[in-house]
Amino acid sequence: MDEQIMRGRVYGADHDDPDPGPQPGHDYVELVGGPLDGLLLDVTGWTPTQLHEGAALATELGRYGAGGRSLYGPRNGAPRLFDWEEDTP
């Protein structure tokens, strides 16, 4: 795992978690752009189809506030990066 990913904070980790970073033996993608920019998403065990489809991630930071989701999808040619696509209610 490259050094930059080893330093990131994982999506879903509590703000007061003493170790919010990546865990050994897990696979991560980096979220790029949008309200979750820079966070890591644990994709351990995801199938190739799931990785291709991307993720709808709950966040209060997006356009729709509490209950909204931010959609992220894989970047062509860079499978370890998921780009922000849009926010949805």
What ranges do the domains of the chain cover? 3-88
**Between 14 and 60, residue with greater pLDDT:** 60
State pTM to two decimals: 0.86
CA distances 65 to 12, 44, 61, 62, 82, Å, are 16, 28, 6, 6, 21
Percent of the chain with pLDDT over 70: 92
What pLDDT, in 10s, does the model give residues 2-42? Answer: 555 556 889 988 778 788 889 899 999 999 999 999 999 99
Task: State the Cα–Cα distance between residues 74 and 2, nearest whole angstrom.
Answer: 18
